[in-house]
Amino acid sequence: MCLSKKISKSFYHLFEPHVVKIRWRFKSLNFPESTHTTVERNEVGLPNHKNNTTSRIIKKMTRYIGCIDIHGGQVKQIVGGTLKKDDQEDKSSQSVSTNFVSTKPSSYYAELYKKNNVLGTHVIKLGSLEANNTAALEAIKSWPDHLQVGGGINDSNAKYWIEQGASKVIITSWLFPNGKLSMDRLKKLSGEIGKDKLVIDLSCRKRINEETNAVEWFVAMNKWQTLTNVQLNKELFELLENYCSEFLVHAADVEGLCNGIDQELVVKLAGWSTVTVVYAGGAKSIEDLKLVDKLSQGKVDLTYGSALDIFGGSLVTFEDCCKWNSKQH
Protein backbone atom coordinates (compact mmCIF):
# COMPACT_ATOMS: atom_id res chain seq x y z
CA MET A 1 0.00 0.00 0.00
CA CYS A 2 1.40 3.41 -0.94
CA LEU A 3 2.09 6.05 1.70
CA SER A 4 -0.78 8.36 0.57
CA LYS A 5 -3.35 5.57 0.92
CA LYS A 6 -2.06 4.71 4.41
CA ILE A 7 -2.37 8.33 5.51
CA SER A 8 -5.88 8.61 4.02
CA LYS A 9 -6.96 5.43 5.80
CA SER A 10 -5.58 6.57 9.14
CA PHE A 11 -7.31 9.94 8.82
CA TYR A 12 -10.60 8.25 8.01
CA HIS A 13 -10.43 6.08 11.17
CA LEU A 14 -9.53 9.16 13.17
CA PHE A 15 -12.63 11.10 12.05
CA GLU A 16 -15.03 8.20 11.36
CA PRO A 17 -17.20 8.70 14.51
CA HIS A 18 -17.78 12.34 13.58
CA VAL A 19 -18.58 11.49 9.95
CA VAL A 20 -21.21 8.96 11.06
CA LYS A 21 -22.76 11.51 13.42
CA ILE A 22 -22.94 14.13 10.66
CA ARG A 23 -24.52 11.65 8.24
CA TRP A 24 -27.13 10.72 10.84
CA ARG A 25 -28.01 14.36 11.49
CA PHE A 26 -28.49 15.12 7.79
CA LYS A 27 -30.57 12.00 7.36
CA SER A 28 -32.80 13.03 10.25
CA LEU A 29 -33.63 16.28 8.45
CA ASN A 30 -35.48 14.28 5.77
CA PHE A 31 -34.20 16.29 2.81
CA PRO A 32 -35.71 15.11 -0.46
CA GLU A 33 -33.26 13.01 -2.45
CA SER A 34 -33.88 14.96 -5.65
CA THR A 35 -36.18 17.53 -7.12
CA HIS A 36 -37.14 18.27 -10.72
CA THR A 37 -39.00 21.27 -12.00
CA THR A 38 -39.79 22.10 -15.61
CA VAL A 39 -38.67 25.68 -16.10
CA GLU A 40 -39.91 28.11 -18.72
CA ARG A 41 -38.47 31.54 -19.41
CA ASN A 42 -36.99 33.11 -16.25
CA GLU A 43 -36.38 31.29 -13.00
CA VAL A 44 -36.40 32.63 -9.46
CA GLY A 45 -35.13 30.65 -6.47
CA LEU A 46 -37.39 31.19 -3.46
CA PRO A 47 -37.36 29.59 0.01
CA ASN A 48 -39.94 26.91 0.67
CA HIS A 49 -40.82 27.35 4.34
CA LYS A 50 -42.71 24.08 4.52
CA ASN A 51 -39.59 21.91 4.29
CA ASN A 52 -36.81 24.50 4.68
CA THR A 53 -35.55 23.92 1.14
CA THR A 54 -35.16 26.20 -1.85
CA SER A 55 -37.60 25.67 -4.73
CA ARG A 56 -37.33 26.88 -8.32
CA ILE A 57 -40.43 28.90 -9.12
CA ILE A 58 -41.51 29.53 -12.71
CA LYS A 59 -41.64 33.26 -13.44
CA LYS A 60 -43.03 34.12 -16.87
CA MET A 61 -42.16 37.33 -18.63
CA THR A 62 -43.81 39.09 -21.56
CA ARG A 63 -41.99 38.56 -24.87
CA TYR A 64 -41.85 40.58 -28.07
CA ILE A 65 -43.42 38.55 -30.92
CA GLY A 66 -42.75 39.34 -34.57
CA CYS A 67 -45.26 39.60 -37.40
CA ILE A 68 -45.28 39.62 -41.20
CA ASP A 69 -48.60 40.90 -42.59
CA ILE A 70 -49.10 40.20 -46.30
CA HIS A 71 -51.65 41.95 -48.51
CA GLY A 72 -51.65 42.12 -52.28
CA GLY A 73 -48.52 39.96 -52.27
CA GLN A 74 -46.54 42.56 -50.31
CA VAL A 75 -45.55 43.03 -46.69
CA LYS A 76 -47.74 45.83 -45.34
CA GLN A 77 -49.04 47.49 -42.22
CA ILE A 78 -52.75 48.26 -42.53
CA VAL A 79 -55.16 50.19 -40.33
CA GLY A 80 -57.33 47.29 -39.21
CA GLY A 81 -60.71 48.96 -39.45
CA THR A 82 -60.22 49.86 -43.12
CA LEU A 83 -59.66 46.32 -44.39
CA LYS A 84 -63.14 45.84 -45.84
CA LYS A 85 -62.55 44.23 -49.23
CA ASP A 86 -60.60 41.14 -50.25
CA ASP A 87 -57.48 41.98 -52.23
CA GLN A 88 -58.78 39.64 -54.92
CA GLU A 89 -61.51 42.15 -55.76
CA ASP A 90 -59.52 45.25 -54.84
CA LYS A 91 -56.16 44.52 -56.44
CA SER A 92 -55.15 48.17 -56.41
CA SER A 93 -55.67 48.29 -52.61
CA GLN A 94 -57.48 51.62 -52.91
CA SER A 95 -60.07 50.71 -50.29
CA VAL A 96 -57.57 50.19 -47.46
CA SER A 97 -55.59 52.66 -45.42
CA THR A 98 -51.95 51.56 -45.22
CA ASN A 99 -49.27 52.82 -42.86
CA PHE A 100 -46.50 50.99 -44.67
CA VAL A 101 -45.84 49.07 -47.90
CA SER A 102 -42.50 47.30 -48.03
CA THR A 103 -40.24 47.13 -51.05
CA LYS A 104 -38.53 44.12 -49.49
CA PRO A 105 -39.71 40.50 -49.86
CA SER A 106 -41.25 38.53 -47.00
CA SER A 107 -38.07 36.46 -46.78
CA TYR A 108 -36.14 39.57 -45.71
CA TYR A 109 -38.26 39.84 -42.56
CA ALA A 110 -38.15 36.11 -41.93
CA GLU A 111 -34.35 36.20 -42.07
CA LEU A 112 -34.35 39.21 -39.74
CA TYR A 113 -36.46 37.36 -37.17
CA LYS A 114 -34.30 34.26 -37.58
CA LYS A 115 -31.07 36.19 -37.04
CA ASN A 116 -32.45 37.68 -33.82
CA ASN A 117 -34.28 34.50 -32.70
CA VAL A 118 -37.69 36.17 -32.44
CA LEU A 119 -39.70 33.04 -31.69
CA GLY A 120 -43.47 32.74 -32.20
CA THR A 121 -43.51 35.13 -35.17
CA HIS A 122 -46.69 34.90 -37.25
CA VAL A 123 -47.21 35.38 -40.99
CA ILE A 124 -50.73 36.62 -41.74
CA LYS A 125 -52.25 36.59 -45.24
CA LEU A 126 -54.72 39.47 -45.39
CA GLY A 127 -56.49 38.38 -48.55
CA SER A 128 -57.01 35.51 -50.97
CA LEU A 129 -54.68 36.57 -53.80
CA GLU A 130 -52.35 33.74 -54.84
CA ALA A 131 -49.49 36.22 -54.45
CA ASN A 132 -50.12 36.15 -50.71
CA ASN A 133 -49.60 32.38 -50.62
CA THR A 134 -46.39 32.78 -52.58
CA ALA A 135 -45.08 35.43 -50.18
CA ALA A 136 -46.06 33.36 -47.14
CA LEU A 137 -44.26 30.31 -48.54
CA GLU A 138 -41.18 32.41 -49.21
CA ALA A 139 -41.15 33.51 -45.58
CA ILE A 140 -41.53 30.08 -43.97
CA LYS A 141 -38.96 28.53 -46.33
CA SER A 142 -36.49 31.09 -44.98
CA TRP A 143 -36.99 29.85 -41.41
CA PRO A 144 -38.63 26.39 -41.50
CA ASP A 145 -40.55 25.16 -38.45
CA HIS A 146 -40.37 28.53 -36.70
CA LEU A 147 -43.04 30.74 -38.31
CA GLN A 148 -46.79 30.46 -37.83
CA VAL A 149 -49.13 30.99 -40.79
CA GLY A 150 -52.65 32.41 -40.70
CA GLY A 151 -55.25 33.77 -43.10
CA GLY A 152 -57.61 31.51 -45.01
CA ILE A 153 -56.58 28.43 -43.03
CA ASN A 154 -59.13 25.60 -42.93
CA ASP A 155 -59.32 21.81 -42.80
CA SER A 156 -58.41 21.50 -46.48
CA ASN A 157 -55.08 23.34 -46.32
CA ALA A 158 -53.84 23.26 -42.71
CA LYS A 159 -51.77 20.10 -43.23
CA TYR A 160 -50.28 21.58 -46.39
CA TRP A 161 -48.88 24.58 -44.53
CA ILE A 162 -47.46 22.39 -41.76
CA GLU A 163 -45.80 20.20 -44.40
CA GLN A 164 -44.36 23.30 -46.07
CA GLY A 165 -42.62 24.29 -42.84
CA ALA A 166 -45.08 26.33 -40.77
CA SER A 167 -44.54 25.71 -37.04
CA LYS A 168 -48.26 26.24 -36.40
CA VAL A 169 -51.34 27.32 -38.31
CA ILE A 170 -53.73 30.04 -37.15
CA ILE A 171 -57.46 29.64 -37.72
CA THR A 172 -59.80 32.60 -37.80
CA SER A 173 -63.02 33.12 -39.77
CA TRP A 174 -63.35 29.45 -40.82
CA LEU A 175 -63.99 28.55 -37.19
CA PHE A 176 -67.05 30.81 -37.04
CA PRO A 177 -69.48 29.88 -39.86
CA ASN A 178 -72.43 32.29 -39.89
CA GLY A 179 -70.86 34.08 -36.94
CA LYS A 180 -71.12 31.11 -34.60
CA LEU A 181 -68.39 28.97 -33.08
CA SER A 182 -68.21 25.51 -34.67
CA MET A 183 -66.85 23.00 -32.18
CA ASP A 184 -67.18 20.27 -34.81
CA ARG A 185 -64.74 22.08 -37.09
CA LEU A 186 -62.36 22.77 -34.22
CA LYS A 187 -62.33 19.19 -32.95
CA LYS A 188 -61.82 17.84 -36.47
CA LEU A 189 -58.87 20.08 -37.30
CA SER A 190 -57.26 19.73 -33.87
CA GLY A 191 -57.52 15.97 -34.19
CA GLU A 192 -55.93 15.99 -37.64
CA ILE A 193 -52.88 18.16 -36.98
CA GLY A 194 -52.63 18.08 -33.18
CA LYS A 195 -53.40 20.85 -30.69
CA ASP A 196 -49.70 21.71 -30.43
CA LYS A 197 -49.80 22.87 -34.06
CA LEU A 198 -52.95 24.96 -33.73
CA VAL A 199 -53.42 28.63 -32.82
CA ILE A 200 -56.89 30.17 -32.51
CA ASP A 201 -57.30 33.79 -33.54
CA LEU A 202 -59.81 35.48 -31.26
CA SER A 203 -59.40 38.98 -32.65
CA CYS A 204 -62.17 41.13 -31.32
CA ARG A 205 -64.02 44.40 -31.04
CA LYS A 206 -65.19 46.15 -27.92
CA ARG A 207 -68.84 46.66 -27.06
CA ILE A 208 -70.61 48.27 -24.11
CA ASN A 209 -73.38 46.21 -22.56
CA GLU A 210 -76.39 48.54 -22.55
CA GLU A 211 -77.94 46.89 -19.50
CA THR A 212 -74.89 46.65 -17.24
CA ASN A 213 -72.72 49.32 -18.88
CA ALA A 214 -69.87 46.80 -18.71
CA VAL A 215 -67.17 46.54 -21.38
CA GLU A 216 -67.36 43.32 -23.40
CA TRP A 217 -65.36 41.93 -26.32
CA PHE A 218 -66.76 39.85 -29.19
CA VAL A 219 -64.88 37.90 -31.84
CA ALA A 220 -64.63 39.83 -35.13
CA MET A 221 -64.23 37.82 -38.34
CA ASN A 222 -63.94 38.49 -42.09
CA LYS A 223 -61.06 40.94 -41.77
CA TRP A 224 -62.54 42.16 -38.48
CA GLN A 225 -65.62 43.59 -40.21
CA THR A 226 -68.21 41.01 -39.05
CA LEU A 227 -69.02 40.82 -35.37
CA THR A 228 -69.94 37.32 -34.15
CA ASN A 229 -72.07 36.32 -31.18
CA VAL A 230 -69.02 34.79 -29.49
CA GLN A 231 -68.00 36.75 -26.40
CA LEU A 232 -64.49 36.55 -24.99
CA ASN A 233 -64.59 35.30 -21.41
CA LYS A 234 -63.07 32.73 -19.06
CA GLU A 235 -65.47 29.99 -20.11
CA LEU A 236 -64.59 30.39 -23.81
CA PHE A 237 -60.85 30.15 -23.20
CA GLU A 238 -61.23 27.14 -20.91
CA LEU A 239 -63.20 25.37 -23.64
CA LEU A 240 -60.87 26.19 -26.53
CA GLU A 241 -57.64 25.41 -24.65
CA ASN A 242 -58.50 21.72 -24.96
CA TYR A 243 -57.93 21.93 -28.72
CA CYS A 244 -55.13 24.49 -29.26
CA SER A 245 -51.79 25.53 -27.81
CA GLU A 246 -51.96 29.30 -28.27
CA PHE A 247 -54.23 32.29 -28.88
CA LEU A 248 -53.69 35.36 -31.06
CA VAL A 249 -55.83 38.37 -30.20
CA HIS A 250 -55.90 41.52 -32.30
CA ALA A 251 -57.73 44.40 -30.66
CA ALA A 252 -59.31 45.48 -33.95
CA ASP A 253 -60.55 48.82 -32.61
CA VAL A 254 -56.99 50.06 -32.01
CA GLU A 255 -55.09 47.97 -34.60
CA GLY A 256 -52.75 50.08 -36.73
CA LEU A 257 -53.51 53.36 -34.96
CA CYS A 258 -50.42 53.51 -32.69
CA ASN A 259 -52.50 55.19 -30.00
CA GLY A 260 -51.85 52.74 -27.20
CA ILE A 261 -52.88 49.21 -26.27
CA ASP A 262 -56.24 48.13 -24.86
CA GLN A 263 -55.03 47.79 -21.28
CA GLU A 264 -58.28 46.40 -19.93
CA LEU A 265 -58.29 43.64 -22.53
CA VAL A 266 -54.69 42.69 -21.70
CA VAL A 267 -55.62 42.26 -18.04
CA LYS A 268 -58.61 40.14 -18.97
CA LEU A 269 -56.59 37.92 -21.32
CA ALA A 270 -54.11 37.18 -18.54
CA GLY A 271 -56.93 36.01 -16.30
CA TRP A 272 -58.78 34.06 -18.97
CA SER A 273 -56.05 31.93 -20.55
CA THR A 274 -53.60 29.39 -19.16
CA VAL A 275 -51.77 28.91 -22.48
CA THR A 276 -49.75 31.40 -24.53
CA VAL A 277 -51.63 34.53 -25.60
CA VAL A 278 -50.22 37.05 -28.06
CA TYR A 279 -51.83 40.50 -28.02
CA ALA A 280 -51.68 42.85 -31.01
CA GLY A 281 -53.06 46.34 -31.45
CA GLY A 282 -52.03 49.91 -30.69
CA ALA A 283 -48.54 49.34 -29.26
CA LYS A 284 -46.61 52.58 -29.70
CA SER A 285 -43.62 52.50 -27.34
CA ILE A 286 -40.97 50.12 -26.05
CA GLU A 287 -42.49 50.90 -22.67
CA ASP A 288 -45.57 48.95 -23.78
CA LEU A 289 -43.60 45.74 -23.26
CA LYS A 290 -43.08 46.71 -19.63
CA LEU A 291 -46.72 47.74 -19.36
CA VAL A 292 -48.06 44.46 -20.76
CA ASP A 293 -45.64 42.53 -18.55
CA LYS A 294 -46.95 44.39 -15.50
CA LEU A 295 -50.64 44.23 -16.42
CA SER A 296 -50.56 40.53 -17.30
CA GLN A 297 -47.91 39.41 -14.80
CA GLY A 298 -45.90 38.18 -17.77
CA LYS A 299 -48.67 35.96 -19.09
CA VAL A 300 -49.41 37.91 -22.30
CA ASP A 301 -46.92 38.48 -25.13
CA LEU A 302 -46.92 41.55 -27.38
CA THR A 303 -46.41 42.22 -31.07
CA TYR A 304 -45.67 45.56 -32.73
CA GLY A 305 -46.75 46.68 -36.18
CA SER A 306 -46.90 50.19 -37.59
CA ALA A 307 -44.90 51.75 -34.74
CA LEU A 308 -41.84 49.59 -35.49
CA ASP A 309 -38.93 51.02 -37.48
CA ILE A 310 -38.65 47.95 -39.75
CA PHE A 311 -42.19 48.74 -40.88
CA GLY A 312 -41.57 52.42 -41.47
CA GLY A 313 -42.43 53.52 -37.93
CA SER A 314 -40.46 55.94 -35.77
CA LEU A 315 -41.73 55.10 -32.29
CA VAL A 316 -40.10 51.72 -31.56
CA THR A 317 -36.87 50.15 -32.78
CA PHE A 318 -36.58 46.48 -33.66
CA GLU A 319 -33.23 46.43 -31.88
CA ASP A 320 -34.81 47.52 -28.59
CA CYS A 321 -37.47 44.82 -28.89
CA CYS A 322 -34.80 42.16 -29.40
CA LYS A 323 -32.81 43.50 -26.45
CA TRP A 324 -35.93 43.19 -24.31
CA ASN A 325 -36.29 39.52 -25.28
CA SER A 326 -32.64 38.78 -24.57
CA LYS A 327 -32.94 40.33 -21.10
CA GLN A 328 -35.93 38.16 -20.29
CA HIS A 329 -34.08 34.95 -21.14
Long-range contacts of 56-61 (CB under 8 A, 24+ apart): 59/298, 60/297, 60/298, 60/299, 61/293, 61/298, 61/328
Considering only the C-alpha atoms of the chain, give the largest distance between any 2 of them, rounded to a whole number of Å. Answer: 94
Q: How confident is the model at residue 55 (pLDDT cuts 50, 70, 90)?
A: very low
Tell me what pLDDT residue 88 has.
Answer: 66
Tell me what pLDDT residue 324 has.
Answer: 97
Average pLDDT over residues 92-115: 87
Least confident span in 37-41, 184-188, 194-198: 37-41
Residue 134 bridge partners (DSSP): none
Q: Which residues of 261-281 are buried (b: 16+ CB within 10 A; e: fewer)?
A: bbeebbbbbbebbeebbbbbb
Average pLDDT over residues 208-226: 90
C-alpha closest to that of 252 among 244, 262, 237, 264? 262
Tell me what pLDDT residue 14 has.
Answer: 47
* pLDDT, tens digit, 9 for 90 and up, residues 4-33: 444 444 444 544 444 444 344 434 444 443
- CA separation (Å) from 227 to 3, 173, 177, 184, 262? 87, 11, 12, 21, 18
Tell me what pLDDT residue 259 has.
Answer: 87
Question: Would you call 59 helix, strand, or coil by DSSP?
Answer: strand
pTM of structure: 0.80
Tell me what pLDDT residue 84 has.
Answer: 60
Average pLDDT over residues 192-201: 98
Q: Above 90 in pLDDT, residue 328? A: no
Q: Above 50 in pLDDT, residue 34? A: no
In degrees rounded to 5, what are phi and psi of residue 76? Answer: -140, 165
Least confident span in 47-61, 104-118, 257-271: 47-61
Q: How confident is the model at residue 202 (pLDDT cuts 50, 70, 90)?
A: very high
Say which CATH topology domain 64-328 has: TIM Barrel (3.20.20)
Tell me what pLDDT residue 93 has.
Answer: 52
Q: How confident is the model at residue 59 (pLDDT cuts 50, 70, 90)?
A: low
Average pLDDT over residues 276-301: 97
Q: How confident is the model at residue 83 (pLDDT cuts 50, 70, 90)?
A: low
Q: Above 80 in pLDDT, residue 317? A: yes
Sequence spans of domains, the chain: 3-59, 64-328
* pLDDT, tens digit, 9 for 90 and up, residues 118-176: 999 999 999 899 999 999 999 999 999 999 999 999 999 999 999 999 999 999 999 99
Q: What is the mean pLDDT of the chain?
A: 84
Tell me what pLDDT residue 159 has.
Answer: 98
Contact predicate 271/234, CB 8 Å: yes
